[in-house]
Structure 1
Amino acid sequence: MTPAAPLALLGLIDAAFSGFRAYAGSDARIRKHRANARAALRGLTTGAALLLLPALTAAVLLLTASDTSRTYEALAAGGVGYLLPLAASFFLPFRASTLAMVIGLGPLTLLRPVAIAAACIGALINGGGWPALLVGTIAGAAVLCVEPAVHRRWYRLERVQVEVDTVCTGA
């Protein structure tokens, strides 16, 4: 089994949450279900575009490899190793899985690079070698770039406008 589909799904789910986090706090309205859904969709589309980079990297590695089957096996083993630390939240006991969810989605999102680094180390240790480490690093960078990209593209101006309005009205 290739771990590409679960990894892509995990990356897209994370991208949707990143879009929501980029929007969170920029709107003081009470009813903002549509805005939340729009923010998640923006994160999802941005993440889908950015996740094409590791897919293209893997494709180039496979097309240029002298032994395609060996490179494929290395990428698959690395993908499994990459997936294990990230999917731990689904298989850990309740308290540990809750902590893993808070790290990924809540106020501990600053630890997401640590989780990505652990996944890259897992890809390397599991037998993926440098091809899996390269693809994993590019995938990790892509996932970590979704939230800043969404924030910069759609929500930075809203916060600047709110700050300008607040300064001008003295509120």
Structure 2
Amino acid sequence: MTPAIPLVLLGLVDAAFSGFRAYAGSDARIRKQRATIRAALRGLAVGAVLLLAPALAALLLLTTRDAARTYEALTAGGLGYLIPLTVYAAAVLLLLAAYLTLPFRAGTLAIVVGLGPLTLLRPLVVAAACLGAVLTGGGGAALLVGTIAGAAVLGVEPVVHRCWYHHVR
């Protein structure tokens, strides 16, 4: 199985959350469900565009003379890239489930104590994913595509903030 599909799905979900984070705190209204959804969709759109860069890099690498070997390296690297991201995503899902199922105070604590630090750890998780891509046999090709993908997902929030929410303080 190719790891490309789960990686793209994780990248797009992360982009939607990045859009939400770019918007969060910029609106003092109590009922802001539409604005929250709009922010998530903006993040999703920006993420979809930015994630074209690693896809194009992988396609360019696959046009080399030894495309079969490059494909194997990218697949192995993609699996190594996916492992840290899956652990991170599982932790985020667990905290979101706690927020949605626990009483108000406990759910809020789970968000503040859990998701706050996890958000700050995102660049380290991307670095661990790049390391995983190399350690699983992906080599330079997987590291290149992984680094471009990491820069793309980490760039969604600043782009959304700058395009739509920079005027709010």
Global fold match (TM > 0.5): yes
- Identical residues among aligned pairs (%): 66
Query: Which segments of 5 or more consecutive residues in structure 2 lack a partner in the other structure?
Result: 96-109
- C-alpha displacement at 1:91, in angstroms? 6.2
Partner letter of residue 2 of structure 1?
A: T
CA RMSD of aligned residues (A): 2.4
Partner letter of residue 58 of structure 1?
A: A
Partner letter of residue 133 of structure 1?
A: L
SS of 1:106's equivalent in the other structure is helix
CA deviation vs aligned residue, 1:21-42 (integer Å, no higher than 9, x gap): 0000000000000000000000
SS of 2:25's equivalent in the other structure is coil
Map 1:51-130 → 2, pairs under 5 A: 51-63=51-63, 65-89=64-88, 98=95, 106-108=115-117, 109-130=119-140
Q: Mark the CA change 1:8 to 1:22 in structure 2 (over 3 Å): closer, same or farther.
A: same
CA distance in 2, matches of 1:152, 1:137: 23
CA distance in 1, matches of 2:90, 2:149: 23
Map 1:1-171 → 2, pairs under 5 A: 1-63=1-63, 65-89=64-88, 98=95, 106-108=115-117, 109-159=119-169
CA distance in 1, matches of 2:90, 2:15: 21
- C-alpha displacement at 1:75, in angstroms? 0.2
More RCO (CA 8 Å, sep 6+): 2
Give the greater-gyration-radius structure (CA). Answer: 1
CA distance in 1, matches of 2:59, 2:168: 39
Normalising by structure 2, we get a TM-score of 0.85
Query: Which segments of 5 or more consecutive residues in structure 1 lack a partner in the other structure?
Result: 160-171
SS of 1:26's equivalent in the other structure is coil
Show structure 1 runs of 4+ deviating over 3 A.
89-92
